[in-house]
């Protein structure tokens, strides 16, 4: 078909990070690009239900609690107990700023936004629920995910929530049970414990966040328990009973846990069930997610999928990079290296966790001769000044070449600190010696790299 048979060269479904990355990359490359959004505002789940609101709430909670624990304020007799509404107050303003900023990207790049649910009619045509029909040479599906809701759980009960609806919790509960100890579950466990809520964290697996380095997982488990979170591993729910004064979680082991409110945080489902995929022969997996190749192409090579709708790692940062990579592939730049396999994790527990590269477990299994350098935050002057002495930085490096193989950080500002190590790890020329020889500002958290590098260097013989 000729190009003039199409309204667009690329049409994107979903304005979250993945969709935005694809649209902007393709438009900068000169393609005609349009995008659809079923919600009344752009930004996707990242902006409205996930990353931005939850991290904004976390920051407010952390900042407020740090002030309340400060001995200076205690001496002044300042005591307060903020409400959920007060803690959440700044979130709407941040979301509005994000929406306005992202809207400007589409406006100044002349990318039209079609508001309404898009559905495929055939391989090159979608209809928008407002009645418009759009034809495009290529598509990017970036529709994200939503919390998985098992049919036997009554989510209409006023005390039973999922990770979307928990953001609207009106009153601070006395206790909460969180079922599912993945990233979302552990983040909310930290958040609610920090405001004095009793937390039961129920894990269906044998340990927390198994994809992380074992030592980091052990540290997280210790500090959650030290803060008062009750963690129960290897448990599966039998039924969830909503009552007038609380919720009772019945476990298959016979245990029963009662709390004021209940948060279901166990699994997510791809938003693919109403996209008309049967009309084009694409079949999602049982989680509603789409399978893609290394170029983010589905079984239909002109239809790409990026972001949470393709599953792991389900990170906003990764979605944006995947979207850009898909946009580059549409432009014919098949060799564009966006480091889509070099993705740092950022887990906003309290303290937070971030890592990039390989874990000790992976290196041991692959029989790579590595060594470890560690820095405990309690020994850093900046951490002592800020009162954030819980945590550590861990560098894994090759014993012979000194190349950085992995960086793992647990503690305040971990998600920022990790990027220094990421840059050195990705360098062709730099090794552990970079950290040994470089002068870091003092006092800073970044100084942890020098301390950890010397610690590891001294282990060599």
162 burial type by CB count under 10 A (0-12 exposed, 13-18 middle, 19+ buried): buried
3-class DSSP assignment, residue 220: helix
Domain 160-266 has CATH 3.50.50.60: yes
In the CATH hierarchy, which fold is given to the domain comprising 351-457?
Enolase-like; domain 1 (3.30.390)
**pLDDT attached to residue 186:** 97
Q: According to the annotation, is 180 in a ligand binding site? A: yes
Helices (H), 49-142: 51-69, 71-75, 84-108
**pLDDT attached to residue 340:** 65
Domain with CATH 3.30.390.30 in the chain: 351-457
Task: Quote the CA–CA distance of 249 and 169 in Å, as a whole number.
Answer: 19
Q: According to the annotation, is 356 in a ligand binding site? A: no
3-state secondary structure 263-323: EECCCEEECCCCCCHHHCCCCCCCCCCCCCCCCCECCCCCEEECHHHHCCCCCHHHHHHHH
Q: According to the annotation, is 34 in a ligand binding site? A: no
In the CATH hierarchy, which fold is given to the domain comprising 3-147+269-330?
FAD/NAD(P)-binding domain (3.50.50)
Strand ordering across the sheet containing 391-398: 345-347, 353-357, 404-411, 391-398, 370-376
**pLDDT attached to residue 168:** 87
Strands 133-141 and 303-305: parallel
Q: According to the annotation, is 185 in a ligand binding site? A: yes
- Which of the residues in the chain have pLDDT under 50? none
**pLDDT attached to residue 338:** 67
Task: Quote the CA–CA distance of 214 and 164 in Å, as a whole number.
Answer: 30
**pLDDT attached to residue 345:** 93
Task: Quote the CA–CA distance of 120 and 59 in Å, as a whole number.
Answer: 40
Q: According to the annotation, is 19 in a ligand binding site? A: no
Domain with CATH 3.50.50.60 in the chain: 3-147+269-330, 160-266
Q: According to the annotation, is 18 in a ligand binding site? A: no
Distance, C-alpha 131 to centroid of its chain: 35
**pLDDT attached to residue 335:** 62
Q: According to the annotation, is 244 in a ligand binding site? A: no
pTM of structure: 0.91
Q: According to the annotation, is 187 in a ligand binding site? A: yes
Strands 268-270 and 145-147: antiparallel
Q: According to the annotation, is 181 in a ligand binding site? A: yes
Q: According to the annotation, is 186 in a ligand binding site? A: yes
């Amino acid at each position: 078909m000729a190009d003039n048979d199409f309204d667009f060269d690329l049409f994107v479904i979903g304005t979250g990070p993945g969709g935005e990355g694809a649209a902007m990359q393709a438009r900068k490359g000169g393609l005609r690009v349009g995008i659809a959004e079923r919600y009344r505002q752009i930004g996707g789940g990242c902006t409205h239900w996930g990353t931005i609101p939850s991290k904004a709430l976390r920051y407010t909670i952390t900042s407020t609690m740090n002030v309340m624990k400060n001995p200076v304020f205690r001496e002044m007799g300042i005591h307060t107990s903020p409400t959920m509404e007060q803690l959440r107050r700044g979130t709407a303003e941040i979301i509005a700023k994000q929406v306005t900023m992202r809207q400007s990207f589409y406006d100044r790049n002349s990318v039209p936004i079609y508001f309404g649910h898009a559905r495929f009619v055939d391989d090159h045509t979608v209809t928008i629920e407002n009645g418009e029909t759009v034809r495009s040479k290529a598509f990017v599906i970036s529709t994200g995910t939503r919390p998985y809701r098992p049919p036997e759980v009554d989510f209409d009960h006023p005390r039973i929530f999922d990770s979307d609806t928990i953001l609207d919790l009106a009153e601070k509960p006395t206790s909460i049970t969180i079922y599912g100890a993945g990233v979302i579950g552990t983040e909310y466990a930290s958040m609610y414990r920090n405001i004095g809520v009793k937390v039961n964290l129920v894990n269906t697996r044998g340990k927390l966040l198994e994809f992380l380095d074992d030592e980091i997982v052990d540290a997280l488990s210790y500090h959650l328990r030290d803060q008062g979170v009750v963690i129960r591993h290897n448990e599966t729910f039998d039924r969830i009973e909503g009552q007038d004064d609380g919720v009772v979680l019945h476990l298959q082991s016979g245990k029963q846990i009662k709390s004021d409110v209940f948060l279901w945080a166990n699994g997510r489902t791809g938003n693919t069930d109403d996209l008309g995929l049967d009309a084009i022969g694409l079949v999602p997996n049982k989680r509603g997610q789409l399978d893609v190749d290394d170029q983010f192409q589905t079984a239909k090579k002109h239809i790409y999928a990026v972001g949470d709708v393709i599953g792991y790692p389900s990170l906003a940062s990764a979605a944006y990079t995947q979207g850009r990579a898909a946009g580059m592939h549409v432009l014919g730049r098949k060799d564009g290296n966006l480091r889509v396999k070099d993705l740092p994790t950022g887990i906003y527990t309290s303290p937070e966790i971030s890592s990039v590269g390989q874990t000790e477990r992976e290196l041991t299994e692959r029989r790579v001769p590595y060594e470890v350098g560690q820095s405990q935050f309690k020994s850093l002057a900046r951490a002592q000044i800020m009162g954030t002495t819980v945590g550590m930085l861990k560098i894994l490096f090759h014993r012979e070449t000194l190349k950085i193989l992995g960086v793992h950080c647990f503690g305040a500002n971990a998600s920022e600190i990790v990027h220094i190590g990421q840059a050195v790890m990705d360098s062709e020329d730099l090794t552990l010696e970079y950290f040994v020889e470089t002068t870091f500002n003092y006092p800073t958290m970044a100084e942890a790299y020098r301390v950890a590098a010397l610690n590891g260097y001294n282990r060599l013989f």
